[in-house]
Amino acid sequence: MKKYVLIFSFIIAALLISCNKFTTQNAITSDGLSNPKPPKAIGPPRILFIGNSQIEYFVSAPTLFQELCNFNNKHINVQQLVTMGVSLDKVYYTNKTEANQIFSNRDKDGNYYDFVVLQEATPIALTDLEKYRSNLKLIVEKIHKNSPDVAIYVYQNMSPLPYTNPEYDDYYKELQKNAVLAAAYIKNAGLLRVGDAVKDAYEGKSGYKYLSNNKDNLRYGKNILHFTNDGGFLQAVLLYSAIFDKTPIIPKKLILSTGTGDKDNMRKQEVDKVISNPKALEEIAFNNR
């Protein structure tokens, strides 16, 4: 699998060394933010993913979500603007020609996009609330030109630290709080509670065990932890559950990663053989919808 040099990796490394870049406050839960309401669509709805490697690296959230929708007879068009290791504004400027084209497309029902997932870079989501809000505003204003009633899901980033790090919870709470405060300023926006779901999985909710032979089943990496198959599966089921308010029927096979090496890739594999505990992850996802 081709790997990318993530230009924010040095920032993450600095964050791992010191926690004094922010002041942790009491966590603000997402209870005050209801799930956004999609507009009425004529024909299959569209969803757009915008973000970086938390959305697609070893596994692909757009691909897995599309597969779950297809298998469950949910006809939806999936698109993405993803650039490794950059913030939302840089995702836009890196893909400006393509972005301006899709943001100018029109649909007869008045909303070209029905759902959008916006995933900010972790360093900004963690330490710069003003930039977090301005980047969301930049993207949303452009999307609203052709999709004024789109349902926005602001991606709640997960703690960048290993779960065994004693400061894992501090980072988790700060990211949770900032996601709520950023989403609150966006029309028809809610949270995609990835950080909450990942924390529940690490805590063993629904009987899930994240360790196998001293190996983290959810994430892999050093300075930056990316989803492996369990984490990618959890993320895709979470989004499906949030949008449709039900757990998807899981197909026998999904497009998952063969590993974390440079020669590994994504291909169809049997879920029960590759995902350590699909049922537990489904339940965790649904409970965080």
Distances (CA, A) of 278 to 127, 196, 232: 34, 18, 11
Instruction: Measure the CA–CA gap between 278 and 272, rounded to whole angstroms.
Output: 7
Check if the beta carbon of residue 277 is closer than 8 Å to that of residue 260: no
pLDDT in tens, 73-118: 999 999 999 999 999 999 999 999 999 999 999 999 999 999 999 9
Instruction: Measure the CA–CA gap between 140 and 147, rounded to whole angstroms.
Output: 9
Regarding the domain delimited by 9-13+34-287, which CATH topology (the fold level of the hierarchy) does it fall under? Rossmann fold (3.40.50)
pLDDT in tens, 244-274: 999 999 999 999 999 999 899 999 999 999 9
Rounded to 5°, the CA angle 67-45-88 comes to 80
CA-nearest of 114, 193, 106, 109 to 151 is: 114
Q: What's the start-to-end Cα distance of the chain, in Å? A: 31
CA-nearest of 245, 140, 246, 241 to 197 is: 241
Please tell me the predicted confidence (pLDDT) of residue 33: 81
Close Cβ partners of 7 (under 8 Å, ≥ 6 residues apart)? 85, 86
Rounded to 5°, the CA angle 23-29-33 comes to 125
Domain assignments of the chain as residue spans, ordered by start: 9-13+34-287
Instruction: Measure the CA–CA gap between 22 and 173, rounded to whole angstroms.
Output: 11
Q: Which residues of the chain form beta strands (DSSP E)? A: 46-51, 77-82, 115-118, 151-155, 189-192, 211-212, 215-216, 219-220, 226-227, 253-257, 266-270
Rounded to 5°, the CA angle 74-76-79 comes to 145
pLDDT in tens, 142-184: 999 999 999 999 999 999 999 999 999 999 999 999 999 999 9
**What number of other Cβ atoms are within 10 A of residue 40's Cβ?**
11
**Which pTM was predicted?**
0.89
- Bridge partners (DSSP) listed for residue 155: 192
pLDDT in tens, 16-70: 434 444 433 333 444 478 899 999 999 999 999 999 999 999 999 999 999 999 9
